[in-house]
Amino acid sequence: MALIRLNNATVSYEGDLAAENVSFSVEKGDYLVILGENGSGKSTVMKAMLGLVKLKSGEVIHSDGLKKNGVGYLPQQTRIQRDFPASVEEVVQSGVVNRLGRRLFPGREEKQRARQQMERLEIWEMRKRPYRALSGGQQQRVLLARALCATDSLLLLDEPVTGLDPETTAEMYEIIRNINRQGVAIVTVSHDVGQALRDAKHVLVMERTVRFYGETEAYEAWRRENG
Ligand code: ADP
Ligand code: MG
């Protein structure tokens, strides 16, 4: 069974359709890249997967396993988020809040989980530093660690490399590839076709509705025909 499935999901903002009849699914361990111009509905699709926007019609189905294991999310960045006045450790720990249930503060288990993710992304040494003092690439690693606190099965990454220099971009893709190899399904929005597609198993091209959805090789052929 798919981790998550969208059936003809349609979202509109104040009457304007942002995503129409979107259908696709994400399997265990999958790697899906979402492509499309600015304003084509990529972020909206991610928000629909997370239940952050209301559907006008259609449905989003989460598997029982996914409901239990949670979804990690790295939102598209804004200036305000980059200036967030908190330490690295605090930002990462804020990722375990959805595991707390009715408790208010993280206990030993959650702190341990946050530590594991910081070690996994090699930011443990900088845990006391203010988040806003870090480089763009370091900040993205912090947000990735935060997202990983929430899940072992599915990560949604909205433009994780936008604004990063080529070297840091390549590093981010390598980190994401390794996380995927550890069994975490990846859904990522990207502008950069070349690098993102090297690791992808599936591709979704948005243009308010779905222009293409299928395996990466089929996408390459489709692109040659549709330029
Ligand atoms: P993308 O991520 O591909 O750039 P979005 O999903 O953010 O595209 O946006 C799709 C369309 O919906 C755009 O026309 C955008 O202006 C519009 N839109 C996005 N969010 C909102 C919102 N909160 N309220 C109104 N319109 C929105
Ligand atoms: Mg977007």
Output the tens digit of pLDDT for each of the chain's 227 residues.
Answer: 899 999 999 999 998 999 999 999 999 999 999 999 999 999 999 999 999 999 999 999 999 988 888 899 998 877 666 777 899 999 998 887 665 555 566 678 888 999 999 999 999 999 999 999 999 999 999 999 999 998 989 999 999 998 889 999 999 999 999 999 999 999 999 877 778 889 999 999 999 999 999 999 999 999 999 86
Q: Is any atom of ligand 1 closer than 6 Å to the C-beta of 18?
A: yes
Contact indicator for 158, 189 with CB cutoff of 8 Å: yes
**Would you call 112 exposed, middle or buried from its count of C-beta atoms within 10 A (0-12, 13-18, 19+)?**
exposed
| Distance between CA atoms of residues 5 and 189, nearest Å | 17
Contact indicator for 4, 60 with CB cutoff of 8 Å: yes
CA-14 nearest atom, ligand 1: 25
Q: What predicted TM-score, i.e. pTM, was given to this entire model?
A: 0.92
Q: Is any atom of ligand 1 closer than 6 Å to the C-beta of 205?
A: no
